Amino acid sequence: MNIPPAYVLALSGILFAMGVLGVMIRRNAIVIFMSIELMLNSANLVLIGAARAMAPAVEALRGHVFVFFVIAVAAAEVAVGLALIVAIFRTKGTIDVDEVSSLRG
C-alpha cells in the first residue's frame, strides 16, 4: 500500500484543525469533549503514518505501541472527564459551558 506520507500528514492536520474549531465554537460540554477526542485521533494517525514510513525497520513498531498507549490514556481521560461532566450537571443543572461562568473575575 503505497501512500505518500505527506497525504497522511495533510489529513491529520485537517482533522486536528477541525477538532480545534469544535472546542472553540460548540457550547455543549460533551461535544467539546468529543472534539478533543478527534484531535487525539488525528495525532494517532500521524504516528501510524510515520511508523509505516519507517517500515521495515524494527523500530517502526514503536509508533504502534505509542498509539496503543494514547488510546489507553484517552480511555482513562474520557472516563474521568465524563464523570466530571455528570457531577457538574448534578450541581449546575446544565452542561452549557457558557452557563458555568461563576469564576468570572
- What are the distances in angstroms from CA 62 to CA 32, 58, 74, 96, 105? 30, 8, 18, 40, 46
CB of 66 to other proteins, least distance (A): 9
At a CB cut-off of 8 Å and minimum separation 6, what does 9 contact? Answer: 46, 49
CB of 80 to other proteins, least distance (A): 5
CB 12 within 8 A of CB 49: yes
CB of 32 to other proteins, least distance (A): 8
CB of 71 to other proteins, least distance (A): 5
Q: What share of the chain is helix, strand, coil (3-state, %, to 5)?
A: 80, 0, 20
